[in-house]
Chain A
């Protein structure tokens, strides 16, 4: 079990994440050729890129500027969510030990702090979701599920690194399991906004540029 989870399962999860995402993108692209003529008729590369870029930048859009606290929260959340697992020392060591691939890494102390910051930001977003009536009213089960899936690997990773709660091997296995869960969930849950963001923003950028206006 331990060997399977910490070995093949990881590769299977990466496979599902990558192939599943490609499949989702390809299916939407194929459909769009038939159903989204308006996009291709007026495609505007500059506006599409601008629409993506402005929203990737903290305070780059009207919404981000008008909601500074949320902007900080969401950017910290997303930056830590992506950077921490990519450059955690444990991940780099595992990769080098098993595959001989050298991978840059962050010092453990930094990854540790980023995990805590991430969890704080995640908590902020969750509280916001329940405290603000206009967010609570549209919150669905699947929004919570996406949040839980994103948060679990950080909780288990932190507990594992600090040898808390369970014995480190079991916790490590849980960490890998929850990490795999996140990877396989990306193409099929609301986490798909990881790649859909670029598609929908490109569309709206072009669509408004056709009318000489902007969405950021």
Chain B
């Protein structure tokens, strides 16, 4: 897909200029090359401590080279750099926590990705997804009508499980506007149904928009910040149009980070805050259980662990809530070590899953760290509140023979919740 036009150094340098900041300059001046970022990185650990996988070296091979040569690089060189910026880093930001100066290698890798993206040097699948966002407003090329039909179908089908289940579309003045990952209408419509059941059972005043329903934002990983901003804006616009109080993101990691933390900057919101408050299914379900709006028949009894997605628990504020939700739902929650904001990336993030088969082999190698973590808990169930983590852990399950079952919070809550009599389906007896 990468066309063979000569590399346009000006376009590359325009990205550098746009991202030139005091913090970036301070980082470049201050790094003492101490190497302490190495052992924070699961790529480095999983590849037998191969030094070429250590974070600073990866930043130097990408952004460092671009800056040194002022964007004057051959296409072959850019292609080589692509394999580092996308193939050896998920921008999980764990190295920032281990750097004595708090240098953000992930931000540097992201700038390098943006530079390369201007020259269409980027994993093909991610570029296709950018295009899908532009044409359809979602990453899976789903027309809005089809999405609405899927919701109607899921509501109707769900009435077998919860009487009078409805999925309100475009309802105004709702407290919660729920947005999903387009994988849900495409491959896992059950997910929409289960989220709807939980909200319905909690007596929530909620809705989904017929446009601006896509929560994912993979353009932030392709390096196409223009499209990333457009996608974030469409969600904000939908919430403003419907006058919703909060945007609630489905169980997806990067979507939460994009809407809550990065989107406000792509779309130049005053004060760097989203125009409508952004929350997440984990926080919402936590609220339901804590306030007793959802009651359980019993807690989940088997030993179970939790995957802390990087974009929820490190680049987001949900680590503690996810742990508390686990405690409220499960009798025997066994956390992984390390966990919460110190958790390792599973290697599904940063665009890795959608990058597809070309990158699967290295995804499986680098995922070894996560696989070991899971194995050490000795559990046979794992809660994964993120779509990309879900795919990755399912793959790791096969690759490493973990024999663990991946679950989502909505799935487990639907299984355990004690519906009030008027919501119980009639033929349930």
Q: In the complex, which residues of chain A have a beta carbon less than 8 angstroms from the beta carbon of B54?
A: 134, 137-138
Q: A134-B44, A201-B102, A211-B314 are in contact. Are A31 and B21 (CB under 8 A)?
A: yes
Q: Which of B25, B32, B35, B44 contacts A28 (CB 8 A)?
A: B25
Interface positions of B from 31 to 65, Cβ below 8 Å from A? 31-36, 38-40, 44, 49, 51-52, 54, 56-57, 60
For B273, list chain A residues within 8 Å (CB): 41
B323 to chain A, nearest CB (A): 13
A163 contacts the other chain (Cβ, under 8 Å)?
no
Contact assessment for A41 and B271 in the assembled complex, using a CB-CB cutoff below 8 Å: yes
B191 touches A (CB below 8 Å)? no
Cβ distance A115 to chain B, nearest Cβ, rounded Å? 22
Given contacts A138-B33, A193-B30, contact A39 B101 (CB under 8 A): no
Q: Shortest beta-carbon distance, B88 to chain A, in Å? A: 14
> Which of A38, A63, A134 has the largest number of chain B CB atoms within 10 A?
A134
Residue of A nearest to B317 (CB): A212
- Report the separation of the CA atoms of residues A215 and B20 in the bound assembly, to the nearest whole angstrom: 24
Contact, CB under 8 Å: A204 / B96: yes
* Bound-state Cα–Cα, A33 to B30, Å: 20
Min CB distance A62 to B, Å, is: 7
Is the beta-carbon distance between A200 and B36 smaller than 8 angstroms?
no
Q: Are A139 and B33 in contact (CB-based, < 8 A)?
A: yes
Which listed residue (B99, B101, B103, B272) contacts A42, Cβ 8 A?
Answer: B272
- B38 interface neighbour in A38, A134, A213, Cβ under 8 Å: A134
- Contact check, B101 vs A201: say whether CB atoms are below 8 A apart: yes
The residue on B at minimum CB distance from A200 is B101
Min distance, Cβ A55 to any Cβ of chain B, angstroms: 6
Decide yes or no whether A51 CB sits under 8 A from chain B: yes
B317 touching A211, Cβ below 8 Å: yes
Contact between B315 and A41, CB atoms less than 8 A apart: no
Bound together, the chains give a CA A145 to CA B316 distance in angstroms of: 40
Residues from chain B with a CB closer than 8 A to the CB of A213 are 313-315, 317, 319, 340-341
B30 touches A55 (CB 8 A): no
A85 on interface, CB distance cutoff 8 Å: no
Contact B314 A136 (CB under 8 A): no
Check if A192 is an interface residue, CB within 8 A of chain B.
Answer: yes
Q: Does B60 contact A138, Cβ atoms closer than 8 Å?
A: yes
Which one of B25, B31, B36, B56 lies within 8 Å of A67 (CB-CB)? B36
Interface residues on B, range: 35 or more
A82 to B383: give the CA distance in the assembly, Å.
Answer: 50
Q: A151 CA to B103 CA in the complex, in Å?
A: 26
Say whether B100 contacts A192, CB under 8 Å.
Answer: no
Question: Is the pair A200, B27 in contact by a Cβ cutoff of 8 Å?
Answer: yes
CB of B26 within 8 Å of the partner chain: yes
Return the CB mask of B293-323 against A: 1 if under 8 Å, else 0. Answer: 0000000000000000000011111011000
Given A135-B35, A138-B57, A199-B26 contact (CB < 8 Å)? yes
Q: At the interface, yes or no: A133 with Cβ under 8 Å from chain B?
A: yes
Q: Are B102 and A192 in contact (CB under 8 A)?
A: no
On chain A, the residues within 8 Å of B104 by CB distance are 204, 207
CB distance from B313 to the nearest CB of A (A): 7
B381 within 8 A of partner (CB): no
B57 to chain A, nearest CB (A): 5
**Chain B residue with the shortest CB-CB distance to A133:** B51
B98, CB-defined interface residue at 8 Å = yes
Contact across chains for B22 and A32 when beta carbons are under 8 A apart: yes
Kindly state whether residue A2 has any CB partner on chain B within 8 Å.
Answer: no
Measured between alpha carbons, how far is A66 from B314 in the docked complex, in Å?
19
- Shortest beta-carbon distance from B20 to chain A in Å: 7
Contact between A63 and B98, CB atoms less than 8 A apart: yes
- The answer on a CB contact under 8 Å between B36 and A29 is no
> Smallest CB–CB gap between A189 and chain B, Å?
9
Chain B residues with Cβ under 8 A from A66's Cβ? 39
Interface SS of chain A: helix
B29 within 8 A of A: yes
C-alpha gap A29/B319 in the complex (Å): 33
Q: Could you tell me if A135 and B100 are in contact, using CB atoms closer than 8 angstroms?
A: no
Q: Do residues B52 and A28 form an inter-chain contact, with CB atoms below 8 A?
A: no
Residues of chain A lying within 8 A (CB to CB) of residue B38: 134-135
Interchain CA distance A89-B355 in the complex, whole Å: 64
Q: How many angstroms from the CA of A132 to the CA of B34 in the assembled complex?
A: 10
- What CA separation (Å) do A212 and B21 show in the bound complex? 24
A91 within 8 A of B: no
B376 at the interface (CB under 8 A from A): no
- Shortest distance from the beta carbon of B302 to any chain A beta carbon, whole Å: 29
B343 to chain A, nearest CB (A): 11
List A contacts of B57 (CB < 8 A).
Answer: 134, 137-138
Among A29, A38, A192, A214, the residue within 8 A (CB) of B30 is A192
Residues of B within 8 Å of A212, CB to CB, are: 316-317, 319-320
Let me know if B131 is at the binding interface, CB within 8 A. Answer: no
Within 8 A of A (CB), among B314-357: 314-317, 319-320, 340-342
* Chain B residues, CB < 8 A from A135: 33-35, 38
Interface residues of A in 171-216 (CB under 8 A from B): 190, 192-193, 196-197, 199-201, 203-205, 207-208, 210-216
CB-based nearest B residue for A213: B341
CB distance A41 to B342 under 8 Å? Answer: no
> Across the interface, do B342 and A62 meet the contact criterion of CB distance under 8 Å?
yes
State in angstroms the CA–CA spacing of A35 and B96 once bound together: 20
The answer on a CB contact under 8 Å between B26 and A200 is yes
A63 touches B100 (CB 8 A): yes
Extra contacts besides A62-B98, A134-B54, A138-B33 (10): CB < 8 Å: A28-B25, A35-B23, A37-B265, A133-B51, A134-B57, A137-B52, A192-B29, A200-B102, A204-B96, A208-B341
Residue pairs across A and B with Cβ atoms less than 8 A apart, 12 shown, are A35-B23, A36-B22, A42-B272, A62-B97, A63-B36, A134-B51, A134-B57, A135-B34, A193-B101, A197-B101, A211-B261, A211-B317
Chain B residues packing against A (C-beta within 8 Å): 20-23, 25-27, 29-36, 38-40, 44, 49, 51-52, 54, 56-57, 60, 96-104, 261, 265, 271-273, 313-317, 319-320, 340-342
